[in-house]
């Protein structure tokens, strides 16, 4: 029996949601129980079964100026199921009468609608949610409702997920009663903030010694944690772990989201390809690197912060706090994990600032855009992104023709960025320089 169905078994959500649930369980004894669902057919899920779904998470960093390194043993996860390999077991978890909420973290690319999905298919994440809700509606009627708390970093993540569920219901011709059932379900917009590098590769031995055991599922993250939920706080009574003081309920999550996504996530997404092309693998090393640090400061100060309608000094302080968090000496946050799904991340995290920025003053974002293209177009780099992105870069085209097609790819960016923004014309020299091996040399001229 589980009260939380969690789509996502990655490092972040396990260091965030399951950690909060475990803290509540350890202190008050009324934590939730969790079943993990792997959103894609990833063989990694089998490792959870082998470990009885138990693992450690470590928080490392500074709290009130003091160094903190604390381990928590996570025991609230009861199962991990793969709908692609064991649908019956997955279906049983979805129909659990004790289920209260579905929580998800399927990356920005996860909340998507595909008109080609059929009811019989596994389908996208929103398609899966539609079928779960429909099965619960058919079995339990009105009593089958559960609440939805998506954590994906897209604007209005809850509203978007609900919109797609209703679109699937219409596409598949599901009955009007079910559509009314869905409309009454509470779906929350949210914003999460915590840096989680994940498994401490290269430092695992010292962690294993500190814990007194080996744990290949362990995760490491910073001490800072924030969850902002849009809506009334009645959900806290249903899910007591949300009574943690780091969880905030608000009427409007937008200003919190814009500040965090544009500054923290935007800097991560911009720095990742440039730093990797410079041979810098860890975020801390990038912000301690003279050239990369200067780049990050200029990008934030000149091209991101001016696009956010909030008090400038508060934004500057948030940026300073973010860069301090990036320099955390206790964790190694690898750019190889940040670069995952960078095309959709660029669209979500940087493109809004890019479009709002003065066209004459966005050279740092143009350079990040060119760097991402060059990294993905390198034969020495293995792309970890959507199938459409992999297929695009697998094409054998001359560099300049491929870059123009990349800029004009409406499926990637939602628009032709050359026609509307002149990106090819403005950035092609950066591509030529990066391809010629002058990454750092060009970086210094920005």
State residue 201 phi and psi, 5-degree precision. -60, 130
Asked whether residue 328 falls in the same domain as residue 400, the answer is: yes
Q: What is the C-alpha separation between 366 and 423, in angstroms, rounded?
A: 7
Asked whether residue 223 falls in the same domain as residue 265, the answer is: no
Q: What CATH number corresponds to the domain at position 376? A: 1.10.1040.10
Asked whether residue 335 falls in the same domain as residue 302, the answer is: yes
> DSSP 3-state assignment of 267?
helix
**Number of independent structural domains in the chain:** 2
pLDDT tens for the chain, 446 residues long, are 799 999 999 999 999 999 999 999 999 999 899 999 999 888 888 999 999 999 999 999 877 767 889 999 999 999 999 999 999 999 999 999 999 999 999 987 899 999 999 999 999 999 999 999 999 999 999 999 999 999 998 889 999 999 999 999 999 999 999 999 999 999 999 999 999 989 998 899 999 999 999 999 999 999 999 999 999 999 999 999 999 999 999 999 999 999 999 999 999 999 999 999 999 999 999 999 999 999 999 999 999 999 999 999 999 999 999 999 999 888 889 999 999 999 999 999 999 999 999 888 999 999 999 999 999 999 999 999 999 999 999 999 999 999 999 999 999 999 999 999 999 999 999 999 999 999 999 999 99
Query: Sign of dihedral through CA atoms 245, 215, 206, 201?
Result: negative
Asked whether residue 273 falls in the same domain as residue 413, the answer is: yes
Asked whether residue 30 falls in the same domain as residue 90, the answer is: yes
Tell me how many degrees the CA angle 342-260-323 measures, rounded to the nearest 5.
85
Structural domain span for residue 18: 4-250
Asked whether residue 232 falls in the same domain as residue 259, the answer is: no
Q: What CATH number corresponds to the domain at position 83? A: 3.40.50.720
State residue 122 phi and psi, 5-degree precision. -70, -50
Asked whether residue 56 falls in the same domain as residue 97, the answer is: yes
Last residue of a domain, one of 181, 215, 250: 250
Asked whether residue 81 falls in the same domain as residue 8, the answer is: yes
Asked whether residue 232 falls in the same domain as residue 368, the answer is: no
Tell me how many degrees the CA angle 111-117-123 measures, rounded to the nearest 5.
55
- Residue 58 to residues 51, 71, 384, Cα–Cα distance (Å): 17, 4, 26
Last residue of a domain, one of 200, 232, 250: 250
Asked whether residue 234 falls in the same domain as residue 278, the answer is: no
Asked whether residue 94 falls in the same domain as residue 71, the answer is: yes
Asked whether residue 207 falls in the same domain as residue 110, the answer is: yes
Last residue of a domain, one of 202, 231, 250: 250
- Residue 211 to residues 22, 69, 199, 205, 358, Cα–Cα distance (Å): 17, 11, 14, 10, 51
């Amino acid at each position: 029996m589980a009260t939380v169905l969690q789509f996502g078994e990655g490092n972040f959500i396990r260091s965030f949601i399951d950690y909060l649930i475990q803290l509540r369980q350890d202190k008050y004894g009324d934590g939730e129980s969790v079943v993990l669902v792997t959103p894609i057919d990833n063989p990694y899920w089998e490792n959870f079964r082998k470990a009885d779904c138990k693992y450690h998470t470590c928080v490392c960093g500074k709290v009130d100026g003091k160094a903190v390194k604390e381990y928590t043993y996570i025991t609230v996860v009861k199962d991990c199921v793969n709908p692609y390999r064991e649908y019956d077991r997955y279906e049983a978890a979805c129909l659990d009468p004790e289920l209260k909420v579905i929580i998800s973290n399927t990356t920005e690319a996860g909340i998507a609608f595909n008109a080609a999905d059929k009811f019989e298919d596994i389908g996208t994440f929103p398609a899966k949610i539609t079928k779960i809700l429909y099965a619960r509606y058919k079995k339990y009627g009105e009593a089958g409702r559960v609440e939805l708390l998506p954590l994906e970093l897209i604007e209005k993540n809850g509203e978007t997920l609900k919109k797609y569920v209703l679109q699937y219901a219409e596409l598949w011709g599901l009955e009007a009663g079910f559509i009314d059932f869905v409309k009454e379900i509470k779906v929350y917009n949210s914003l999460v903030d915590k840096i989680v590098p994940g498994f401490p590769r290269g430092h695992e031995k010292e962690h294993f010694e500190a814990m007194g055991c080996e744990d290949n599922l362990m995760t490491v993250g910073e001490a800072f944690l924030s969850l902002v939920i849009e809506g009334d706080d009645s959900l806290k009574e249903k899910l007591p772990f949300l009574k943690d003081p780091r969880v905030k309920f608000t009427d409007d999550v937008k200003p919190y989201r814009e500040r965090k996504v544009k500054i923290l996530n935007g800097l991560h997404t911009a720095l990742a390809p440039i730093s990797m092309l410079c041979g810098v693998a860890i975020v801390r090393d990038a912000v301690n690197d003279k050239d990369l640090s200067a780049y990050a400061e200029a990008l934030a100060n000149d091209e991101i912060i001016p696009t956010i309608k909030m008090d400038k000094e508060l934004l500057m302080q948030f940026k300073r706090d973010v860069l301090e968090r990036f320099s955390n000496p206790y964790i190694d946050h690898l750019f190889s994990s940040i670069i995952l799904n960078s095309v959709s991340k660029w669209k979500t995290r940087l493109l809004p600032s890019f479009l709002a920025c003065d066209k004459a003053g966005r050279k740092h974002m143009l350079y990040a855009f060119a760097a991402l293209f060059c990294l993905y177009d390198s034969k020495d780099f293995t792309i970890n992104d959507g199938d459409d992105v992999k297929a695009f870069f697998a094409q054998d085209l001359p560099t300049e023709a491929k870059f123009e097609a990349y800029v004009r790819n409406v499926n990637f960016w939602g628009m032709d960025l050359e026609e509307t923004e002149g990106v090819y014309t403005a950035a092609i020299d950066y591509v030529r320089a990066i391809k010629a091996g002058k990454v750092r040399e060009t970086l210094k001229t920005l």
